[in-house]
């Protein structure tokens, strides 16, 4: 991506996540082991990583989180300081659910999002547009 930036080429990064998500200031992908205990979950900082990618002005980043975002219990929360990085640029994040403890049975965002992309492409001469 850095080389593409140096050549003044644009890059679109699209990430779709459906599964177990958690939230502690930012959204995480939760990878549980067999016993599914929160203390054994590995939490990958997906939202923070996408925000970092979007800091490069040549990158356009779209994150589609079609998952539950369970709140991390206080005893397992990170003490790391997540800064409010207002400097990010080309970032669209779409969340399928508000933070909660409820479990949704099936993903709800993929189909309407792809339908929007297809309609947008037809209306704009083969190009995708986003709000």
Structural domain including 12 reads 2-123
Q: Has residue 22 been placed in a domain?
A: yes
131 inside domain: no
Residue 77 belongs to a domain: yes
pLDDT surpassing 50 at residue 92? yes
16 located within any domain:
yes
Tell me the CB-side half-sphere exposure of residue 75, using CA atoms within 13 A: 3
78: in domain: yes
Q: Give the whole-number percent of the chain exceeding pLDDT 70.
A: 72
Distance CA 108, CA 105 (A): 9
Distances (CA, A) of 122 to 14, 67, 92: 20, 29, 21
Question: Does 13 reside within a domain?
Answer: yes
Q: What is the pLDDT of residue 15?
A: 93
Domain count, the chain: 1
Q: How confident is the model at residue 81 (pLDDT cuts 50, 70, 90)?
A: very low
Indicate whether 129 belongs to any domain: no
Structure tokens at 55: 């800091």
Q: Is residue 43 part of a domain?
A: yes
Lowest mean pLDDT among 70-74, 100-104, 110-114: 100-104
């Amino acid at each position: 991506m850095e080389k593409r930036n140096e050549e003044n080429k644009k890059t679109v990064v699209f990430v779709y996540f459906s599964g177990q998500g958690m939230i502690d200031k930012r959204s995480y992908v939760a990878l549980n082991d067999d016993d599914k205990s929160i203390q054994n979950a590995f939490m990958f900082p997906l939202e923070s990583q996408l925000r970092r990618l979007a800091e490069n002005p040549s990158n356009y980043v779209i994150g589609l989180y079609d998952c539950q975002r369970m709140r991390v219990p206080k005893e397992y929360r990170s003490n790391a300081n997540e800064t409010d990085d207002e400097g990010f640029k080309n970032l669209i994040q779409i969340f399928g659910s508000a933070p909660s403890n409820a479990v949704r049975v099936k993903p709800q965002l993929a189909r309407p999002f792809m339908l929007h992309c297809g309609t947008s492409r037809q209306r704009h001469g083969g190009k995708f547009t986003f709000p």
